[in-house]
Chains A and B, each alone.
Chain A
Amino acid sequence: MTSPLLVHQRVLAACKLRWGSLNTGTSLTLPPHWRLTGWPCVLAAGKKYQIDLPEVHEEDLDEQFVRGSGPGGQATNKTSNCVVLRHIPTGIVVKCHQTRSVDLNRKRAREILREKLEIAYKGEESELVKMKKESIQRKQDKRKKVNENIEKKRQFKEMLSADQEDDKC
C-alpha cells in the first residue's frame, strides 16, 4: 500500500502539470500535516468530493485574526476566532467562522479559498461549477418527476371515481 506522502506527491505533480507553476520557483510552505488533507474539496453545502484544486502558497496569503492587544495565552480568555484570508495575487478574500477553533477555521478558510480559485481560474470549465449545475439539473429533474407522479395519481383517482359513478347508475 502506498504511503499518503507518495500519493500526495503524485497528485501535486499532476496539479503542476495541469496548472503550471502559479509562482516561479517557490515551494509549498503549508504545515506538513495540512498538506496531506489538502486536496479533497468541501462545497458550501458540506459535501465532499475529490477534485484537483489549485494549491495555495502561504507566501501568497495574508491572514488576519481578531486577537486584540491583550497578553494572550493563559492570561486572556477571548472567543474571537474568525479568520480572514486574502489571496494576494487574485485579491480573493475568504472569511471563515464555521467553528470555534482557530486552527480549524484556518484550514477551512484555505479549503474555501482553493475552491474559489478553482472557479476563478477555470470559469465555465471549472469542475465545481459543473458539479453545481449538475446538482441543480438533478433537483429540477426530480421535482419534475414528482409533479408528474402527482398528476398521474390525480388522474387515476378521477378515473376511479368516474368508474364508481358509472357502476352506481
Chain B
Amino acid sequence: MFKTIWFLNRFMHRHSGVSKHKSVVRWWSSAAEGAVAPPAECSITAEQAIRLWTQHFTLHGISEPLLSSQYIISHVLGEKTLECVQRKRLRDTLTDRERESVWALCSKRLTRMPVQYVIEEWDFRDLTLKMKPPVFIPRPETEELVSLVLEDLRLMRGTDLRCLEVGCGSGAISLSLLRNIPQLRVFALDQSQTAVCLTMENANRLGLQDRLDVYHLDVIKDADAILSKCDPVDFLVSNPPYLHSQDMETLQTEILRFEDHSALDGGLDGLSVIRPILALSSKLLTQGGRVYLEVATCHPPVIQKLVEEMMPGLLYLETRCDLTNRPRFCVLQKKGEDD
C-alpha cells in the first residue's frame, strides 16, 4: 500500500494536470483491493487514467496491465480499441460519469476478472458479442475454425444447409456461420442453461434468431434427444472442452476463477466430450457430411487412431494448424455407402 502511495505521488508530480492530488492520494491509500471508489473532485484525462491504471494493475500483478487499461477506458469512451479513439479525445478530461465508470470497471479487473467479462462484450470475427460469466469466452483460435468451415462451404453457396454446433457457449461459432451463410440453419446446444440463454440473447441482438434453434442438452447424456430434434445435419462443428483434468489447476486465475470449468475440462485424456461427439456425428450426418473440431494440440493423432479403430462410419480427413503453427483442428467425414 505504501508503495502505491509513493508511486502515486511520483505519478502526480510528473503529470501535473491532475488537480487536488493530495486528496486523491488520501483516497487511494484507503482503498482496498477490488473495492475502489473514484475520487470525488479530481479531474483526469483519458490518457492519464490509462497510465494510472496500468501502473496500478502492474503493482497488483494483473496480467496484460496496459492492454486491460486501454480496452476498459476505450470502452468507456465508446470505442473498441485505443486505436479507434481520436487523439484529441484522449487529452480531454473525463466526465464525472466516465471517470466513475472507468474506476468501477478497472476495480473489477483488479479481482482478476477477464477484460471480456469486465466490459461485458468482445469481438469474434466481424461480430460483437455479449459476454457474461461464467459462459466461456471465445478464443482467437476458434475464429480460424470458422474460417476453415467457411472455406469448405464456399462452393456450396445456394444450397440449403443444416448444421449442429455442440457446446455453443456465447454463440460465437453458430452466429458467425449464420452471418456468413444466408441459407444455413443451425441447431446449437449446450449443457449449461446460462450459455443457452446467452447464445439466444446474442442471436437476437444480431438479428440471426430466425435460423437458429438453441437447446439445453448434454451431448453425453441426451444423445437420443439430440438425434430426434436435429437429425440429419450436413455438418457438425464444435469447440468442446478439451483440456486434460490434471492441467486445470495450472490455468490462469482469470480462467479458474471466472469461467465455467465444465466448458474446459475434457477429463483424463481430454476426450471425454469429443468421443460422444464423434459417436453422435456418424448417426447424425448426411453422407459425406463433415465434422470440424477444435482440439488440444496433442489430440489429432489420438483422434485419428480412435476413429480408425473404433468408428467405422467416420473417415479422418485432415489435421489443420492454427496461426501459432500448432495442430489445432480436426476434419472428419461420414463415409458414404460405398466407403
Interface residues of A (CB under 8 A from B): 31-33, 65, 67, 71-81, 96-104
Contact = CB atoms under 8 A, between A and B. Distances in A.
The secondary-structure label for the interface of chain A is loop
B13 interface: no
B115 interface: yes
Given A72-B324, A77-B114, A101 B255 contact: no
Contacts of B239: 74
A86 to B, nearest CB: 16
Contacts of A100: 71, 80-81, 122-123
A29 to B, nearest CB: 13
B151 A32 contact: yes
Contacts of A104: 123, 125-126
Given A74-B139, A77-B254, A104-B125, A98 B81 contact: yes
B60 to A, nearest CB: 17
Interface residues of B, number: 50
Nearest to A36: B154
Given A72-B322, A74-B239, A77-B139, 19 more contacts: A33-B180, A65-B323, A71-B297, A72-B139, A72-B297, A72-B324, A73-B328, A75-B255, A77-B254, A78-B63, A80-B64, A96-B83, A98-B80, A100-B80, A101-B123, A101-B125, A101-B126, A103-B144, A103-B147
Contacts of B180: 33
Contacts of A101: 123-126, 140, 143
B80 A99 contact: yes
Contacts of A75: 243, 247, 251, 255, 264
A99 B81 contact: yes
Interface of B: 63-64, 67-68, 71, 80-84, 114-116, 122-126, 136-137, 139-141, 143-144, 147, 150-151, 154, 180, 239, 241-243, 247, 251-252, 254-255, 259, 263-264, 294, 296-297, 322-324, 326, 328
A122 to B, nearest CB: 26
Nearest to A69: B324
Contacts of A72: 139, 141, 297, 322, 324, 326, 328
A69 to B, nearest CB: 10
18 contacts: A31-B151, A32-B151, A33-B150, A33-B154, A72-B139, A73-B296, A73-B297, A74-B136, A75-B247, A77-B116, A80-B64, A97-B81, A97-B82, A98-B83, A99-B123, A101-B124, A103-B147, A104-B126
Contacts of B150: 33
A71 B322 CA distance: 12
A89 B266 CA distance: 46
Contacts of A67: 323-324
Contact of B115 (A33, A79, A98, A103): A79
Contacts of A99: 80-81, 123
Nearest to B64: A79
Contacts of B263: 74
A79 B154 contact: no
Contacts of A71: 247, 297
A88 to B, nearest CB: 19
Nearest 8 pairs of A and B residues by beta carbon: A100-B123, A101-B123, A103-B143, A102-B140, A97-B83, A103-B125, A77-B254, A97-B81
Contacts of A32: 151, 154
Contact of B71 (A33, A79, A102): A79
Contacts of A73: 139, 141, 242, 294, 296-297, 322, 328
A76 B122 CA distance: 16
Nearest to B127: A101
Given A79-B115, A99-B80, A74 B144 contact: no
Contacts of B241: 74
Contact of A78 (B64, B144, B296): B64
